[in-house]
Amino acid sequence: MMDSVNACEYEFDVVVVGAGHAGTEAALAAARMGAQVALLTTNLDTVGQMSCNPAIGGVAKGQIAREIDALGGAMGQAIDATGIQFRLLNCRKGPAMHSPRAQADKKAYQQEIKRLVEEQENLFLRQEVVEDIVTSGDAQAQQVCGVQARGNVIYRAPAVILTTGTFLQAVMHTGEAKSSGGRAGEGSTQGISGALNRMGFRLERFKTGTPPRLNGRTIDYTRTEIQPGDDTPQPFSFLTNRLEVEQLPCWITFTNEKVHDLIRQNLARAPMYSGQIKTTGPRYCPSIEDKVVRFSDKEQHQLFLEPEGRATQEVYVNGISTSLPRDVQDQLIRFIPGLERAQIMRYGYAVEYDFCPPDQLTPSLETKRVKGLFFAGQINGTTGYEEAGAQGLIAGANAALTLTDAEPFILQRDQAYIGVLIDDLVTRGVDEPYRMFTSRAEYRLMLRQDNADRRLTGLGHRIGLTDNVRWQHLQAKETSIVRTKALLQANRLENVTLEKYLRRPETKWDELAEHLPELRDVPSSVSQQVVFDVKYSGYIARQDVQVARQHRLAEKRIPRTIDYDRISQLRAEARQKFREIQPVSLSQASRISGITPADIALLMAHIEKPSK
């Protein structure tokens, strides 16, 4: 670390490093809670930038985006203001699977996020290159004190949040060509990795990739299939009553055997197969090279042509992430129906970058090794804007809470997808870039996208994370739900209450409204909640029993001073994993990979044994 003599110094409560999706949500959250926040980024022109696909939401990701909004975050408001196509996915399935997704005007979204950041009280946005982390204490008791920026500048703060994305010692690959950088046209961050190593953190490397972008003017859309938005677009933010937006279509095309043969012929030049890249990429978002090799029996792969905005011809080719050489990408595109004469504006590439395995974090996203230091986003081994934004919001809230030594804000697995995300990260760690799926949430029937405000806004309001406007909006909605349920209980049809009649699978709301005209005036956001509450009450009651069982385990807290080596009958593997993860409760301990019921029984007996 540098000597602070002659350095220019600034004092803040919280410093956030990085202004992507995690960094902006972190800074906004801490500032909403009253902390004086410095948000530092290497380039003010890329605040909130969509590095990969120009979209928010999707399966499970849409649930997270709505939870971020329910907790006062910016993502939902920004996509409502700048979206160019809105779709509710999985509509033919049950409500637990419904997932909103929206195409964004990429530049407009970025500018909207930057506007929200610039207008937030208590938040100071600055262009700085952070090169080091300032700490005090020894290796056993380290406390963060701030960060050092290029030019002999120190930002002092008792809480620092690192949201460095894919920029830590990042290397970009396009075929045999390599260059330093975490995103096309931008450089890499070198000093922070060294600082983390010095402080004793484990660093590993992951890989991610992005597809080429095309000039839409050169695409023959007559050879593709149109994919329009929903007739009645659904907002992301609970504060947006309705969307009045002219939607742009997306388009669908497919790869073919010519494409696959070309890729096979050039695998020796693909960094993932030539040995140039040795790190792991996201299994559920593979490159086109991976798809051709792993699914060799498939004759085609679906591609989505997604416009990047209203004022640009640039088109994102979703489904063809690649790091093949430029000349191969040129040939590959011309074999795809509709793209025979398409011009590539930006070539696809892969990025290798450092991350810190998240088992080094507590559930508040504070590091175990350095007090006051928080990590959020891809530094924790995740992928996706929504996963990053969720972590940023929680880290920002908890950084603000540390200023008053308040209890951390931790969402449980039965309260939010965000709770599932963070618990998975800190309890199980990652062996590939983590992406959220509905299948990861065991209580997904309770964690629907439509009820995120009812689950979370009150929790956020208690700690100052959500404002009075949002709280009053929720209170009015809850009052209307109670009033509507009372109407259903007080009126009858076919000799049963309307509530019981609604439980029948075939019954629709419109049928009840024909019988009781008052129901026609009920807002759709309220009627939807009443329908789901009534129709799925039995299933939810069963999940409530499961939740109560988990809560009993969660109430068994594990003392921080516990010595696992004193539990003589505990397996060596269990001791090692308990020491590494440092679970805070028996519930968290039971979810650690490789831990058996016998391990938990021994741990419980040790905790409950009377002290001698």
As a whole number of Å, the end-to-end CA separation of the chain is 46
Q: How many CB atoms lie within 10 A of CB 322?
A: 27
- Alpha-carbon distance 466 to 72, whole Å? 5
Structural element, H or E, at residue 305: strand 302-307
- Alpha-carbon distance 201 to 178, whole Å? 27
- Return the sign of the alpha-carbon dihedral for residues 588, 591, 597, 598: negative
- Alpha-carbon distance 446 to 96, whole Å? 7
Q: Please report, as a single letter, which amino acid is at residue 239.
A: L
- Alpha-carbon distance 151 to 168, whole Å? 20
Contact 364, 394 (CB under 8 A): yes
**Positions of the chain with pLDDT lower than 70, given as ranges:** 1-5, 610-612
The contacts found for 346-349 with CB under 8 angstroms, 24 or more apart, are 346/184, 346/212, 346/213, 346/314, 347/174, 347/212, 348/174, 348/209, 348/210, 348/211, 348/212, 348/320, 348/321, 348/322, 348/323, 348/324, 349/172, 349/173, 349/174, 349/184, 349/209, 349/210, 349/323
60, 62, 67, 72 alpha-carbon torsion, rounded to 10°:
160
How much is the pLDDT for 2?
47
Residues in Cβ contact with 478 at an 8 Å cutoff, skipping those fewer than 6 apart = 454
What's the pTM? 0.93
3-state secondary structure of 161: strand
DSSP calls for 586-601: HHHHHTSTT--HHHHH
3-state secondary structure of 171: strand
Q: Which residues pair with 148 in a beta bridge?
A: 132, 154
- Alpha-carbon distance 53 to 309, whole Å? 12
DSSP calls for 76-139: HHHHHHHEEEEEEETTTS-GGG-EEEEEE-HHHHHHHHHHHHHHSTTEEEEE--EEEEEEES-T
Contact 581, 427 (CB under 8 A): yes
Backbone phi, then psi, for 277, in 5-degree steps? -105, 125
How much is the pLDDT for 5?
62
Nearest to residue 424, comparing CAs of 432, 416, 415, 413? 413
Note the pLDDT tens digit of each residue in 189-205. 778 999 999 999 999 99
All structural domains of the chain: 8-50+107-208+354-433 (3.50.50.60), 213-350 (2.40.30.260), 468-541 (1.10.10), 555-608 (1.10.150.570)
Tokens 């979703």: give the residue. 318
- Return the sign of the alpha-carbon dihedral for residues 305, 306, 310, 312: negative
Contact 186, 39 (CB under 8 A): no
DSSP calls for 33-72: TT--EEEEES-GGGTT---S-SEEE-TTHHHHHHHHHHTT
Tokens 């919001």: give the residue. 393
- Alpha-carbon distance 385 to 337, whole Å? 30
- Alpha-carbon distance 190 to 18, whole Å? 14
Nearest to residue 287, comparing CAs of 172, 366, 399, 209? 209
- Alpha-carbon distance 392 to 388, whole Å? 6
- Alpha-carbon distance 587 to 407, whole Å? 19
Q: How many CB atoms lie within 10 A of CB 300?
A: 14
Q: Which two tokens stand for residue 562?
A: 């516990």
Tokens 């019988």: give the residue. 515
How much is the pLDDT for 55?
98
Contact 131, 366 (CB under 8 A): no
How much is the pLDDT for 1?
43
- Alpha-carbon distance 16 to 128, whole Å? 11
Note the pLDDT tens digit of each residue in 254-291. 999 999 999 999 999 999 898 898 888 887 788 999 99
